[in-house]
Amino acid sequence: MWWRVNAPLPDDPRLHSAVAVYVTDIYGVDPVLAVHGNSMTDRSHHSATTETSMWFHRRVFADRWNLMESRSPVAASGRGIVIAALYGDDGQRTATIVQEGQAVKREPD
Protein backbone atom coordinates (compact mmCIF):
# COMPACT_ATOMS: atom_id res chain seq x y z
CA MET A 1 0.00 0.00 0.00
CA TRP A 2 1.35 3.42 -0.98
CA TRP A 3 0.53 6.28 1.38
CA ARG A 4 1.45 9.85 2.30
CA VAL A 5 -0.02 12.76 4.24
CA ASN A 6 -1.44 15.55 2.03
CA ALA A 7 -1.29 18.27 4.69
CA PRO A 8 1.92 20.20 5.35
CA LEU A 9 3.83 18.80 8.33
CA PRO A 10 6.53 20.48 10.42
CA ASP A 11 10.04 19.04 10.15
CA ASP A 12 9.73 17.05 13.38
CA PRO A 13 10.96 13.43 13.07
CA ARG A 14 8.85 12.35 16.06
CA LEU A 15 5.66 13.61 14.42
CA HIS A 16 6.48 11.83 11.15
CA SER A 17 7.16 8.61 13.06
CA ALA A 18 3.88 8.96 14.98
CA VAL A 19 1.97 9.39 11.72
CA ALA A 20 3.65 6.25 10.33
CA VAL A 21 2.61 4.28 13.42
CA TYR A 22 -0.98 5.53 13.05
CA VAL A 23 -1.26 4.76 9.32
CA THR A 24 0.33 1.32 9.56
CA ASP A 25 -1.85 0.44 12.56
CA ILE A 26 -5.07 1.35 10.75
CA TYR A 27 -4.27 -0.56 7.56
CA GLY A 28 -2.05 -3.28 9.01
CA VAL A 29 -4.80 -5.83 9.65
CA ASP A 30 -5.85 -6.03 6.00
CA PRO A 31 -3.56 -9.01 5.17
CA VAL A 32 -5.26 -11.01 7.95
CA LEU A 33 -8.59 -10.43 6.20
CA ALA A 34 -7.05 -11.22 2.80
CA VAL A 35 -6.07 -14.73 3.97
CA HIS A 36 -9.83 -15.42 4.15
CA GLY A 37 -10.68 -13.68 0.87
CA ASN A 38 -11.85 -10.39 2.43
CA SER A 39 -10.58 -6.82 2.61
CA MET A 40 -11.07 -3.77 4.79
CA THR A 41 -12.83 -2.14 1.83
CA ASP A 42 -15.65 -4.70 1.75
CA ARG A 43 -16.60 -3.79 5.36
CA SER A 44 -17.44 -7.44 6.14
CA HIS A 45 -15.51 -7.57 9.44
CA HIS A 46 -14.76 -5.57 12.55
CA SER A 47 -11.00 -5.52 12.88
CA ALA A 48 -8.48 -4.23 15.38
CA THR A 49 -4.82 -4.47 16.20
CA THR A 50 -4.18 -6.28 19.48
CA GLU A 51 -0.36 -6.00 19.59
CA THR A 52 2.18 -3.99 17.59
CA SER A 53 5.95 -3.70 17.55
CA MET A 54 7.61 -1.24 15.19
CA TRP A 55 11.34 -0.76 14.69
CA PHE A 56 12.55 2.38 12.93
CA HIS A 57 15.74 1.94 10.89
CA ARG A 58 15.80 5.36 9.20
CA ARG A 59 13.85 8.58 9.36
CA VAL A 60 10.30 8.39 8.00
CA PHE A 61 8.90 11.29 5.97
CA ALA A 62 5.12 11.01 6.28
CA ASP A 63 4.55 13.83 3.78
CA ARG A 64 6.39 11.88 1.05
CA TRP A 65 5.30 8.64 -0.57
CA ASN A 66 5.85 5.53 1.57
CA LEU A 67 5.27 1.90 0.67
CA MET A 68 3.98 -0.56 3.25
CA GLU A 69 4.59 -4.09 2.03
CA SER A 70 2.79 -6.58 4.27
CA ARG A 71 1.75 -10.21 4.52
CA SER A 72 0.04 -12.50 6.98
CA PRO A 73 1.91 -15.78 7.46
CA VAL A 74 -0.88 -17.16 9.67
CA ALA A 75 -4.52 -16.29 10.33
CA ALA A 76 -7.08 -18.52 12.05
CA SER A 77 -10.00 -18.29 14.47
CA GLY A 78 -10.41 -14.57 13.94
CA ARG A 79 -6.78 -13.65 14.71
CA GLY A 80 -3.67 -13.28 12.63
CA ILE A 81 -0.10 -12.07 12.48
CA VAL A 82 1.07 -9.39 10.03
CA ILE A 83 4.69 -8.80 9.11
CA ALA A 84 5.35 -5.57 7.23
CA ALA A 85 8.15 -3.43 5.90
CA LEU A 86 7.94 0.32 5.37
CA TYR A 87 9.97 1.87 2.55
CA GLY A 88 10.58 5.55 1.80
CA ASP A 89 10.26 7.14 -1.63
CA ASP A 90 13.98 6.49 -2.16
CA GLY A 91 13.47 2.72 -1.81
CA GLN A 92 15.25 2.51 1.55
CA ARG A 93 13.64 0.41 4.27
CA THR A 94 12.63 2.79 7.05
CA ALA A 95 10.80 0.47 9.46
CA THR A 96 9.81 -3.10 10.25
CA ILE A 97 6.41 -3.86 11.76
CA VAL A 98 4.94 -6.97 13.41
CA GLN A 99 1.28 -6.87 14.40
CA GLU A 100 -1.28 -9.22 15.81
CA GLY A 101 -4.79 -8.44 14.62
CA GLN A 102 -8.30 -9.59 15.27
CA ALA A 103 -11.10 -9.81 12.71
CA VAL A 104 -14.70 -10.67 13.59
CA LYS A 105 -17.38 -11.08 10.94
CA ARG A 106 -20.03 -8.34 11.10
CA GLU A 107 -23.61 -9.33 11.80
CA PRO A 108 -26.02 -8.51 8.94
CA ASP A 109 -28.10 -5.35 9.49
Of 81, 86, 46, 62, the C-alpha closest to 7 is 62
49 is catalytic: yes
12 is catalytic: no
95 contacts 53 by C-beta, under 8 angstroms: no
Which of 11, 25, 30, 41 is catalytic? The answer is: 25
Which of 30, 49, 96, 109 is catalytic? The answer is: 49
67 contacts 12 by C-beta, under 8 angstroms: no
Of 41, 48, 96, 90, the C-alpha closest to 69 is 96
Which of 24, 42, 99, 109 is catalytic? The answer is: 99
Q: How many CA atoms lie within 13 A of 41 on its CB side?
A: 2
94 is catalytic: no
Of 63, 59, 58, 60, the C-alpha closest to 9 is 63
Catalytic residues: 25, 49, 99
